[in-house]
Amino acid sequence: MGERQPLLEDNQNNDLERATSKDDTDDGFVIDFDPAGDPENPIEWSKNYKRGIVALLAFIAFTITFTCISVVPVANRIVRDLNRDHHTDKSASVLLVTIWELGEAAGPLFVGPLSELYGRQVVINVANVLFICATILAACCQSTHLFIAARCLTGVVVAGNVLNPAIVGDIYLPEQRGSAMSLIMLAPLLGGAVGPAIAGAIAENLGWRQILWMSAALMAACEFVFLCCFRETYKVTILRRRAAKLSNETGNTYRTIFDVEGSKVGSFSSFVESITRPFYVYFGSSVLQAVSLFAGMTFTFFYIMSTTLPDILENIYGLSPALTGSCFITFSAGSVIMVIVCNLYLDKIYIKLREANNGIGQPEYRLPFVIIGSVTLPMAVAAYGWIVDKRLPLSVLLVCVGVMGNTMMLGYLPMSAYIVDMLGLYSASGMTAVIVARCLMGTFFPMAATPLVSKFGYGWGFTVLAGISIALAPIPMLLYRYGARWRQRSPYTSQS
């Protein structure tokens, strides 16, 4: 990994030298990272080690998405196999795919806050182990109800979606976060491309259960790497460990600067208080509420596409499950193109806008790409429906699917960087709130696509969905113009 500096030095004198301390009769010794240089400060870790962390996060993001999306092209087959003696309908296969999102709506309520209470390291390792267990349970299921429950449980213990942006915020300065976030986003896109393609081929030859066993093996490899290489990145936890160590070794009382300053992160000392923090952050910030609504609807179109495309390809265009899975590569290809664009230009745009503002950076400088995505995504969604309605060539449909991936990333990806920049120490709780809103919309909203298509056809049905997206398009524009002022109304965002 290129970084062998231990988390805590064995030499007590080195700890005392690194601790920026003051002697106070009430607070004892107050410690913070040494502004002159501190090897335990994640921001100051070596570039190679931080790149290694980003690679680890990308590895787990790939595995999570592979596990989630791999069942999409064979969902109908799974439902038929598990319910041979019972009637099944389309809603069961849609729920089998989207129930993952319902699990993710519950899991972050614990994952994000607990990472702020106990640190990122322990939470992500425990979550990985539970993910393996839930995936094995799904592979062994003998009924649709149990399979859906296992998939929901797997979504509950997903930690990467919440913690990946927060960890990037832990180890990178604001002007460096955009590139790191973009690289992490590449991995799930690859998982989304490879998963359906591999799943379709495996299901035809070995059966769908082998897909899940492969997913469990991938996550086991992820966890092994995390156990060996990942260090704590959350500075509050690192400083509290240092304070506890110094207090034990010297007999004096040491407290972190966060505890002394009365930071809300330090004041939540119980589990109940910890898991309620996302609600405080969410309902205490109108900006975060607006971001959640827009980001949730934007991401929902991924599941709408995922649950409608297999039927379209098999029933209208006559493709096999293996070829159907391969067609998802076009969505990922379009997404990858936009991730690369964000990687190249997201930080450059931020720096340019900051320089134009007399060197003062604003989280809103992450939003220019989002504004473009808010306008182009509705057009891509409507085009998707009309291409199918008019039975245009398959190549035209696949190009449109790629454009949907492109515009979705344009509208969604920079939002993660915006949330991290805006919320700082509360970024994990903020991401939790956004993910909960996104997952609830992603679970149930795709189930409305089938009735819309049945009633109005693909063309007008997807035009209705595009209209909803158009109604939300002004949100990033208004945030860019007035977000800095609105953020001052919340104690969680006023300092960003």
E strands in 41-169: none
Between residues 24 and 437, the one the model is more confident about: 437
308 C-beta neighbours (distance < 10 Å), count = 22
How confident is the model at residue 5, as a pLDDT?
33
Task: State the sign of the Cα–Cα–Cα–Cα dihedral 152, 193, 216, 125.
Answer: negative
How confident is the model at residue 267, as a pLDDT?
45
Distance separating alpha carbons of residues 438 and 421, to the nearest angstrom: 20
Greatest mean pLDDT among 65-74, 330-339, 401-410 lies in 401-410
How confident is the model at residue 266, as a pLDDT?
45
In the chain, pLDDT over 90 holds for what percent of residues? 21
- Look over the chain and give the mean of its residue pLDDT values, rounded to a whole number: 81
- Of 237-241, 268-272, 461-465, the range with the lowest mean pLDDT is 268-272
Q: How confident is the model at residue 219 (pLDDT cuts 50, 70, 90)?
A: very high
Statement: residue 365 has pLDDT above 50: yes
How confident is the model at residue 493, as a pLDDT?
80
How confident is the model at residue 11, as a pLDDT?
41
Give per-residue pLDDT as tens, 422-479: 887 777 678 777 877 887 887 778 878 878 888 899 999 999 999 999 999 999 999 9
What domains can you pick out in the chain, each with its CATH number? 42-250+273-487 (1.20.1250.20)
How confident is the model at residue 95, as a pLDDT?
72
Alpha-carbon distances of 169 from 12, 134, 135, 243, 482, rounded to whole Å: 29, 29, 29, 23, 24
Backbone angles phi, psi at 462, to 5 degrees: -75, -20
Tell me how far apart the 2 most distant CA atoms of the chain are, in Å.
Answer: 78
Greatest mean pLDDT among 62-71, 79-88, 348-357, 413-422 lies in 348-357
How confident is the model at residue 12, as a pLDDT?
43
Give per-residue pLDDT as tens, 304-346: 888 788 889 888 998 877 788 778 888 878 888 887 888 788 8
Residues in the chain: 496
The answer to whether residues 289 and 279 touch, using CB atoms and an 8 Å cutoff, is: no
Distance separating alpha carbons of residues 481 and 72, to the nearest angstrom: 39
SS3 of residue 34 by DSSP = coil
Alpha-carbon distances of 323 from 26, 182, 204, 317, 469, rounded to whole Å: 69, 29, 11, 11, 30
Q: Residue for token digits 């995936």?
A: 135
Torsion of CA 304, 308, 310, 313, to 10 degrees: -130
The answer to whether residues 342 and 417 touch, using CB atoms and an 8 Å cutoff, is: no
Distance separating alpha carbons of residues 442 and 286, to the nearest angstrom: 22
In the chain, pLDDT over 70 holds for what percent of residues? 87
The model carries a pTM of 0.69
